[in-house]
Structure formats: structure tokens, C-alpha cells
Amino acid sequence: MKKAAQRRSKILEVLDELGQVNVTDLSQRMNVSEVTIRNDLGNLEKNKLLVRAHGGAFKTNNLALAVSEKKSINLQAKRLIGKKAVTLINENDSIILDSGTTTFEISSNLGDFEEITVISNALDIVNNLSKFKNLQVYMPGGYLKEFSMSLVGPMAERNLRQLYCNKLFLGVDGIRSGVGVFTHHMEEAYLNQIMINIAEEVIVVADSSKFKKTGLAFIEGFDKIDKVITDENIEDKDREMLLQHNVEVVIAS
């Protein structure tokens, strides 16, 4: 019982640091079976110390973070990234804005274009775009995921496969060195993969804090990403890692 208590205490420490944990990672880190880790997570969930999710768990206060609350985190960096992203868009482009608080900032800066087409599965982004008269806006449909205010599911997936665009601006929850980009939700990860497949150019928009985070759902490796737009606080090792994977790094300042 003492070893179990120590192990669960360590899980909570990792959870507090990262915001989420993965069963496989914890199993390797603590040199115990995945079954043991799942039992530990189950025990911690019963005591309301975390919330289980597919393949791992979240901090209770992290899972409940609504879109409106997330928008205030690193807001200045997100605004700079949003403005920088717009400089990569050309007249008559067709673009996808994935759901997310950084892509929302891109949507706020599209008013000067005479004609572009914007595809988005995010309700808050589409609502924000409605104030601009010269945009063609498409939503792929789907069912509402209230946590991210986005439309996901088979309908969204089927409709997206019928489209093609010049640029995808992809918001992510985490960037893992040498692996790729992640989100917290399986449905969104699968939809993101389809977005990547129908885009001529894939541009990840993520403030530098995302390099210290990960997620339970893998989206894609760096071989599918053309550019990352981030802020000037990106660490040298993270910039070098991206360059080694032939990903262009664009600094918003």
C-alpha cells in the first residue's frame, strides 16, 4: 500500500506539472504495468483528484477550462500570432481555421481582404467572421462539442473530404519534441488529420507554452507540417528541433 500511495502521489505531481497524463508514459516512467497505472488513475478519480479520459487523465480544473477562459491565457502572444498569420494569406486564398483560441485571433484580422474563402468548424470563429462582408464562410456541419465550441463527427468529416484549400491554420494543445502535435480530444484529432490532408500548406499556430505541453490525442508528425508560427519566447532547442524536421519557424513579434 505504501508503494501505491507513493506512486499515486507521483502521478499527481506529474499531472500538476503537465495538466494531463498518459497511461503508457506513466507506466514507463514508474516501471510498472499499464494495468497498475489504470488502477491508480481509477482510485484517484474516485477521490475526485483527476478526470479519466481515453488513454490517460486530466487535472480536474484543466478539463473544465472553457473556451472563454482559455482565450485569456497568453492573450498577447496569441494576438501577435494571429496578426502574423494573416500576413501569410493572399487575396482569393481558401483557408481553414481550426477551432482554437489562437485561430480565433486570426479570424479577428481578416477584415481587409477583398475576397477569401474561410472554412471553419468553430462556432465562435464563424460568429466572429460574420462582421466581415467580403468573406465566403463555410461550415462543414457535425455535432457540437461544447468544450471547444466546435463541430465534429462523421458529418463534418465527410463534408471536409469534399473540399480543398490553400492553407490550414491549425491550433494545437501540445507539441512533443521529435514526435508531432497533439490535442486533448480524439474526435478533434481525427478531424484535424482530414484538414491536413486537404490543405496545400499546413501552418501550426501555437504560443511557446505549447512546447511544454502534450495531449492524449496525436494529430500528425512534423513531416506533415510546413510552418509553425509562435512567439519570441520559444526556446532554442525547440526551434532547432523544428528546423531539423524541415519545419519553417515564423516568430510573431
Nearest to 49, CA basis, from 38, 36, 34, 60: 60
DSSP 99: S
pLDDT at 63: 44
Q: Where are the CATH 3.40.50.1360 domain residues in the chain?
A: 69-252
CATH of 69-252, one of 3.40.50.1360, 3.90.1150.10, 3.40.50.1000, 3.30.110.70: 3.40.50.1360
Q: Domain 2-63 belongs to what topology? A: Arc Repressor Mutant, subunit A (1.10.10)
CB atoms within 10 A of CB 12: 15
pLDDT at 147: 61
Nearest to 17, CA basis, from 213, 169, 197, 193: 213
DSSP 165: E
Q: Where are the CATH 1.10.10.10 domain residues in the chain?
A: 2-63
- Determine the Cα–Cα distance for residues 150 and 195; give it in Å rounded to an integer: 14
Give the global pTM. 0.75
Whether the Cβ atoms of residue 77 and residue 231 lie closer than 8 Å to each other: yes
Tens digits of pLDDT across the chain (253 residues): 668 878 888 888 788 777 778 899 999 999 999 999 999 998 888 877 777 877 888 776 554 445 555 655 678 999 999 999 999 999 999 999 999 999 999 999 999 999 999 999 999 999 999 999 889 999 999 988 766 678 999 999 999 999 999 999 999 989 999 999 998 788 899 999 999 999 999 999 999 999 988 777 899 999 999 999 999 999 999 999 999 999 999 999 8
